[in-house]
Structure 1
Amino acid sequence: MGDCSPDTDISILHDPQPGSQSSPIVEDGPELPHFDEAISTKRYCEIALWLSYFISVSAIACSIWLLAAEGGLIIAFLPDNVAQGVAGVGLVGELLPLVFNLLIAGCTEAVSYIHAVSLRWALYREGRLEFNSNLRLFTSAKSSRTNTRSVNFFSAACLIVCYTAASQILIGRRTSILFNGIALLMLGIGLLSLSIVSTMCLRDTTNTIIAWSPSPLNTTLACLNHDIIVHHRGRGMLAVDARYLLAQSSKPRRRQCAMNTVYPATRYIIYFQYGVVALCAVLAIIILVLIRILNTNGVPTYAFFADDNGTTQLYLDSGNSDPSLYPLWLFCTFLFAVVPQAFFVMALHGAELLVTVARDEATWREAAGRHGPGRGAMVADGALKSAAKSWLWLALLLYKPVSSWLLTSQGIKFEIQQSTSSVVFNPIPLFALTGLLILLVAFEEWLVRRRIGGPQPATYGHLQTLADLVDDWGPSNIGVDERKLWWGSKGFDQMGDALVGTSVKKEDVGEIDFNWRYK
């Protein structure tokens, strides 16, 4: 634990308001370069928003057409006489919802990003923007109409509806694939509502979005340009966990403090994740026990996918196959699935914060010219480029639709047998989902407890800490797409004190000596 505290006098504290301008030591440095507004990222978000509008309106129109033209809310995707000649149509029918889930996940990520950026700059205007990444659905801002508690709750409900419905739109059978009109309608309503909220974020004149880049360095530069935070001299080796200490020289650490020591919300996220794991395991066990009790002939098989020979499933039968009852049973299936889905969506939302905070730290650590990647930290990064460079974010993007598919497409689903329509509970996918959740929690535990090696102070996207660590943003004549920062030793001042900081030239920073005290 010795490396987790800086070699300083912890009894000396300054004003606990990060970004406070009352500090007596403020550097009057050269004029700051302009930050990147990332207009291209805004354009991509607008394109994704229009795509979401198109999908949502089309889904609502198709569901209405199914009701009016077919007299019900279900229709064959492949005619039986065609599907019978297609090998493996049953397996295709089971996997198609997963593909559809990936598409919807992309749309919801785009509209959610607009909402998240809106929250960032609403907090900025209220003087509450401390970290670059925030828990979007659980953080409200009174100054923005689109980031109030009621809108956040509404957005969370719509997100849950979207993930639940996306997994239930396509229903696979041995001979055909069916459209679920109820799920199509619910998806259209949920995605349309999210799109409207995002449009309000774009059009909100009281909360203009200053910059669209997810980069913590660009956000810091924007705040410095607007005098929300200022650079304090003498804090070049103080990490985010030392943000309440007075400016002073300090020896570099060999390992930095963990995320959970500086971002309190991470602890509650992990606790909630454990609760969701327990919920999923208990649900799967209860269903399996009920099957063993109700099926006097024993469990037929433990197959993952359903087939005509029967699997380990619990059925709630309608007693007949009257098509007029399909909408009712489809809606019942949706209700059964939406309750556990709510817990999973909130758990994944928490995981998203952990990943974005880790990505913010990774962005800063690219500045380590001598220790670390040494590629140089890009001050301005577009959302797509930043996401593509983060394997954590890409893995989570894939994890979201897969977990939703296991729960609401395989674990709880609608089936049509020869004589009945049923709501089916299959514990096998739920056990698989429990395993995936355990892997997720184990990975998150590692992520929040990991103490990154190297002398470069950790920030985890804390804007004031970044403002203090970056002493040189480079000249204004460097383009925003070319501006890179390197961090390291910068020699000695006139008093003989070792200096540390940043430069746009890699050769201007040198090796860090762990025996020296830097400021």
Structure 2
Amino acid sequence: MDDGSNTRRLSLQGQILTLILDLIVTLCTESVGFVHGISLRSALASESRLHFNTNLRLLTAARGWHNPNGALLNGISAILLIVSYSLPSLIVCPDVREILQVSSEMILSLRVPLARGSCHRRVTSTHVGRRTPPPGDGCIVRDAGANILTWLLTIRLDRCIGPAKPPETQPSPWHAHPSIRKVIIFLWVIVAACVGWAALVMSDPANVVVLPQREVQLHIYALPYVGPEWWILLFVNIVMVQGPLTLGLHCSELITNVIRDERQWRCATGRKGLRVATNPLKSVLTDPICLILFISKPFLHWMFGLSFSTADDAVNERLGGVAVVMFTAQIWNLCIGLFVFACFFTFIALRRPCGPQPAAYGHLQTLANLVDEWSPVMWWGHKEDGILYCHAGTSDHPLPDVKMDCVYAGSGAGPSVPVS
């Protein structure tokens, strides 16, 4: 086998192994995040601060530094999440000489952030067990009902809709949830930063290196040798660069979960109705947007890992320094991937649901206002005709569609002047 085929084989093996490690990290961190999301809802509900069913997990903290969902542990979890996704790129790293390197130190280091998951899960489950909070299993209607039963929400039937004619479309998530706008802006900032990174690498006048059978455009960033712990300095540099990407993908969970909550609520106008008792894990695994995000996380982190490599400078078997080699083509590939990702999430955040059913986007007080009759399976639609206003609400049996030419208001709403 010639040298060209051998180097391509080593490169392909390294890329596949890195992608597998990124996928394993995603499975572990998403499992921990699922438990963390439930415990955070419970903590916020016990403090009467659960306004939306979905929140930015690591950026929304419960009160108290000792709280497992407090700012201190959330900050530690955010750092360990970035560390978890940074390590696969350093565990398997083919350098510019096409030598496949596997770092045993980085493999041992990967155990630390992943072990945080079992510890965090054990602490949060113990902490939640001491309370009597709402269920917090992720079903928006059940969470709203549980908050009503624990006196955290007040039903306002006069605010269920109107008084107005039913609109044909509803507000988009961008206009309904304030945090979604910040997430979308942050995603585009990451795209702009990645483009700037690629432009900076291309601005180097001597960044073309001839390797066996090909030319590579790259930029070399040298790190001094500071002793046996040189890899710590290298690792800190990689974490600082990869941190915004990891946090941006994490914040994108808010968009997927808010849209999933809204889709669940809009089942109330469907043929099968809205089932209150649902499996939260099944709702995640069967939602296409959640699956897209789940696939995007390891894929984009894998693309980031392909954009750089390492090379050592050893003289007489002594390490003189480490060079981080950045590949221009791979950085532009990452820019394209991030651009497509940001475009997709911007589109779904600006998309307005069709139909007269009011949008809630997981806002529990809105759901408490809209649901006037609780049952295991609920339908939403036209309920009553009135002199001035009609009434729309929920029932345990299918309801007719609302009348688009009529004015609707809550069941407690009345005329502002006497009816003659």
Per the normalisation by structure 2, the TM-score is 0.85
Matched, 1:381 2:295: no
Letter matched to residue 368 of structure 2: A
Judged with a 3 Å threshold, the aligned counterparts in structure 2 of structure 1 residues 166 and 222 are, in CA distance, closer, same or farther, namely farther
Give matches, 1:296-375, under 5 Å: 298=208, 300=210, 309=214, 311-316=216-221, 330-369=231-270, 374-375=271-272
Q: Is 1:152 aligned to residue 49 of structure 2?
A: no
**Contact 1:213–1:380 (CA under 8 A) maintained in structure 2:** no
Runs of 4+ in 1 over 6 A off after TM superposition: 84-87, 173-176, 317-320, 416-421
Match of 1:167 in 2: 89
What is the DSSP-based 3-state SS (H/G/I as helix, E as strand, rest coil) of the residue aligned with 1:311? strand
Displacement of 1:227 in angstroms is: 2.4
Q: CA deviation digits over 1:259-306, x for unaligned, max 9?
A: 22222112222222222111111111112222xx124xx564xxxxx9
Aligned AA for 1:159? L
Counterpart-to-counterpart distance in 1, 2:288 and 2:117 = 26
**Structure 1: any 5+ residue segments left out of the alignment?**
1-79, 239-248, 301-305, 475-482
Match runs of 1:64-463 below 5 Å? 88-142=9-63, 145-172=67-94, 177-204=100-127, 205-207=129-131, 210-237=134-161, 249-290=163-204, 293-295=205-207, 298=208, 300=210, 309=214, 311-316=216-221, 330-369=231-270, 374-407=271-304, 409-415=305-311, 422-463=323-364
- Asked whether the equivalents of residues 98 and 167 of structure 1 are also in contact (C-alpha less than 8 Å), the reply is no
Tell me if structure 2 keeps the 8 A contact 1:237–1:251.
no
2:216 alignment partner, SS class: coil
How far 1:418 sits from its partner (Å)? 11
The change in CA–CA distance for 1:194 and 1:310 in structure 2 (over 3 A counts) is farther
1:502 to 394, 398, 414: 394
Contact 2:190–2:244, Cα closer than 8 Å, also in 1: yes
Output the amino acid matched with 2:292: A
The answer to whether the 8 A contact 1:414-1:423 is kept is yes
Q: String of CA shifts for 1:201-257, please: whole Å, max 9, x gaps.
A: 11115556642522211211221222221322233325xxxxxxxxxx332111111
CA distance in 2, matches of 1:340, 1:288: 18
Distance 1:121 1:397 in 2: 24
Task: Note if contact 1:162-1:186 (Cα within 8 Å) is conserved in structure 2.
Answer: no
Q: Given that residues 46 and 133 in structure 2 are in contact (C-alpha distance below 8 angstroms), is that contact kept between their aligned partners in structure 1?
A: no
1:163-213 deviations in Å (ceiling 9; x for gaps):
111333223579875432232233211122243223211111555664252
Q: What secondary structure sits across from 2:269 in the alignment?
A: coil
Is residue 155–residue 369 contact of structure 2 (8 Å, CA) maintained in 1? yes
The separation in 2 between residues aligned to 1:446 and 1:153, in whole angstroms, is: 30
Instruction: State the distance in 1 between where 2:312 and 2:283 align.
Output: 45
Q: Is the 8 A contact 1:236 1:518 kept in 2?
A: no
Check 1:269–1:153 CA distance in 2 against 1; reply closer, same or farther (3 A cut).
Answer: same
CA offsets, 1:398-454, max 9 Å, x none?
1111111111x2112335799997432112222111112222222222222222111
Which residue identity lines up with residue 368 of structure 1 in the other structure? Answer: T
Gaps in structure 2 of 5+ consecutive residues: 410-420
Matched, 1:488 2:381: yes
Give, in whole Å, the separation in 2 of the partners of 1:413 and 1:355: 33
More deviation in 87-96 or 162-171?
A: 87-96
Counterpart contact for 2:138–2:280, Cα < 8 Å? yes
Write the distance in 2 (CA, Å) between the matches of 1:352 and 1:392. 10
Shift of residue 331 of structure 1? Answer: 3.9
Distance 1:159 1:319 in 2: 27
| Mapped contact 1:256–1:457 kept (Cα < 8 A) | yes
In structure 2, distance between residues paired with 1:178 and 1:367 = 55
What is the number of equivalent residue pairs in this alignment? 398
- Report the AA paired with residue 314 of structure 1: H
Pair 417,510 (structure 1): closer, same or farther in 2 beyond 3 Å: farther
Identity of aligned residues (%): 29
Q: Does residue 1:514 correspond to 2:404, yes or no? A: yes
User: What amino acid does structure 1 have at the position aligned with 2:203?
Assistant: V
What is the rounded CA distance, in whole Å, between the counterparts of 1:220 and 1:512 in structure 2? Answer: 24
TM-score with structure 1 length normalisation?
0.70
Deviation for aligned residue 1:106:
1.1
Q: Does the Cα contact within 8 Å between 2:22 and 2:88 map onto a contact in 1? A: yes
Displacement after TM superposition at 1:496 (Å): 7.2
Superimposed CA distance per residue, residues 111-157 of structure 1 (whole angstroms, 9 cap, x where no aligned partner): 12222221111111111111000111111111571122111111110
Whole-Å separation in 1 of the counterparts to 2:11 and 2:56: 40
Change (3 A) 1:401 1:191: same
Cα distance change, pair 288–459 in 1 and its aligned pair in 2 (3 A): same
Match of 1:261, as an amino acid? H
| 3-state SS of 1:179 partner | coil
State the distance in 2 between where 1:498 and 1:337 align: 61
- What CA RMSD, in Å, does the superposition of the two structures yield over aligned residues? 3.0
